Structure 1
C-alpha cells in the first residue's frame, strides 16, 4: 500500500543515491571505449535525471553522432545552441561537424555567417571558421543543378563562350549543346579550348559536349599554358583518369575506415580538382604525396592539425614531396 501511494504521488524518486553521477561516468566511459550504443542508453537516462547538465549533452551529441544517429545529434546540438547549454563556440564546432557529415553546407554557411556578422568568433577561431565557410561555399556552388529540358540552339545562333562566366549558365549552355546540332558552334568551342585564359571548368564540360557528339577530329586544349591535342570521341571520362583513381585508392586504404568524414570530404575536393584539370594530371608528383597533401588540406579546413611525421608514416612519403604537392593543390583551390 505504501508503494502504491508513492507511485500515485507523482514525485520523482531516485532509488539509488548517486545514480545520476554513476550514469554519467558509465556513459562517458562507453564513449571513450567507442561503445556508442550503450553510451546512448546511459546518457539518455542521465539526461532525464539532470536535463540541464552540459557534460551529459555533449557526451550524448557525440554518442549519437558516432553511432550514426546524425539527425538526433544535430537536433540535440541545436537545442544546446538555442538554450545556451555549454560553451557556445565549442558546441557550434560540434554542430558544424555534424552538418558536414550530413552534407548540409548551406546550413553551415548560414551558421558561420551569423557568427561573423555578430562578431562572436574568438580571434583564435576566426581563421578556422573563415576557412570552413569558404570550403562550404564551394560545395554549395558546385552542388548538382537540376537542369530543365532545354530548347535546341537555333541553327544560326552563335555563342560567345568568352562572355559566359557564371558556372550555372555554362552548365545550361552545355546541356543545350548536348542535344543540338553544334556544327555552327564548333569554331567557337575550339577557339575557347585552345585559348589560355578560358575557364578550366567550362573547357571540361565543352570537351564532354564534343565527346557526346562523337567528335573525331583532333582539338587543342590549353589549360594554364599546358597544351594537349585530344580526340574527344576517343577520350575516357574525367573520373577514369589513372592518377585520380590512384589518389582515391590511397586515401581509401589510409583513412576511410578510421575517419570516413575526412575521407568523404577529401574525395569531394579531389573530384572537383580533377574535373578542372581534365584531360591533364599533376606531373612529377606521386599519388601518395598528393593524397597526403589533400589529407592535410582538409584537416586544416576542419581546424585540426596533423604532423608531418604522421603524414610521412601514413603515406610513406617525405615532407618535401608533400609540400610540392600542396603547392599544386593550392593553385587549383584558387581557381576552383
Structure 2
C-alpha cells in the first residue's frame, strides 16, 4: 500500500479527502469494515492505523482510537502522525494532560537515542529550562515538539518567547490548534498588549489579558444549552458527539468567535448538520433565519475539513 493510499477502496479515499460527513451510511460501514480488517492484518502499518484512529475520532469512538494508537506507539515507538491524531482523541476526552505525558515520553526517548548515556551513579545538577532548539525557529518545529514546549512554558516566564509566538500567531498557514494554545498561554501569563492573530481566513487584534478565557465563553454555554434541549433526551449519544465537535471548532477558531452571534442560528445549524451525518434530513421548525443557518452549516463543514488537514 502506498503512502498516498492509492490502493484504498473508493469509500476510504473519499473519507481521507473529505471526511466522515461526505460518506453515506453504507460508505461509512464499508470504510470501517475495510480499515478494521486491514488493521487486524497489519497492526503496525502506520497509514492504516492513522486512518482508523481518524475514523474513530470522527465517529466519537475515542476509547477505541486511544487503544489502537497507544498500542501502535508501544510497539513502534515515536510517530508524529499517530501522536497528532491522538491529540484530537484526548482533546475530545478532555484529557490533554495524558497526551502531553505521551508526547514528553516519546520526545525524551528520541532525544536519549542521540545523546551519550550518563553514568548511573552521576546525579545531574538541576539546570534552567532551555529549549532543545532555538525558539526563534519555533514555527519550523514538529507539532509534537511545539506542544511539549508550550506545556513546559506554562511554568516559566515567557517574555523571551513572545517574539516567536507573535510571528506564529500572525501567520494563518500554521496550525490553528497550536495558535490557540499559544494564545491561551498568553492569557494565563496575563500578557497585556495588542497581538495580531490570523487564522482560518480571519484577521484581528486581541489583548490576551482582556479576552475572556474560552471556558468562560457565554455564547458557547448558551449554544450547548440550546442543543441539550433538542438532543440530550432524544439522542444523548449524538448530543455528546456534537458537543465534542463544537468544543474542537470553538478552540480551533479561538480567540475569534462564531459569526453571526445568534445562538439560535448555530443551535439549529449544528442540529441539522449532525442529523444529516446519519442520513436524517431534519426539518427545522424553529423561527430562524434559514439563509444564515445554511451559511453556518457551510462554516461547520469547512471547519471539519480544516481540522482533518491540521496536525494539532
Normalised by the length of structure 1, the TM-score is 0.55
**Rg larger for:** 1
Cα distance in structure 1, aligned partners of 2:213 and 2:276 = 30
**Equivalences for 1:132-211 in 2 at 5 Å?**
133=56, 135-136=58-59, 140=65, 141=86, 142=88, 143=90, 144-145=95-96, 146=98, 147-148=100-101, 153-154=129-130, 157-166=134-143, 168-211=144-187
Aligned residue in 1 for 2:36: 114
Cα distance in structure 1, aligned partners of 2:254 and 2:153 = 20
Alpha-carbon contact 2:60-2:241 (below 8 Å) kept: no
Aligned residue in 1 for 2:263: 287
Alpha-carbon contact 2:183-2:255 (below 8 Å) kept: no
Look up the SS of the partner of 1:317 in the other structure.
Answer: coil
Number of matched pairs: 212
Alpha-carbon contact 1:248-1:267 (below 8 Å) kept: yes
Determine which of 230, 233, 250 is the counterpart of 1:274: 250
> Aligned-pair RMSD on alpha carbons?
3.3
Larger RCO, structure (CA 8 Å, separation 6 or more): 2
Cα distance in structure 2, aligned partners of 1:170 and 1:269 = 23
Q: Does 1:257 align with 2:179?
A: no
**Would the alpha carbon gap of residues 316 and 253 (structure 1) be closer, same or farther in structure 2, given more than 3 Å must change?**
same
**Would the alpha carbon gap of residues 297 and 134 (structure 1) be closer, same or farther in structure 2, given more than 3 Å must change?**
farther
Q: Does 1:334 align with 2:305?
A: yes
**Would the alpha carbon gap of residues 234 and 286 (structure 1) be closer, same or farther in structure 2, given more than 3 Å must change?**
closer
Normalised by the length of structure 2, the TM-score is 0.59
Alpha-carbon contact 1:112-1:133 (below 8 Å) kept: no
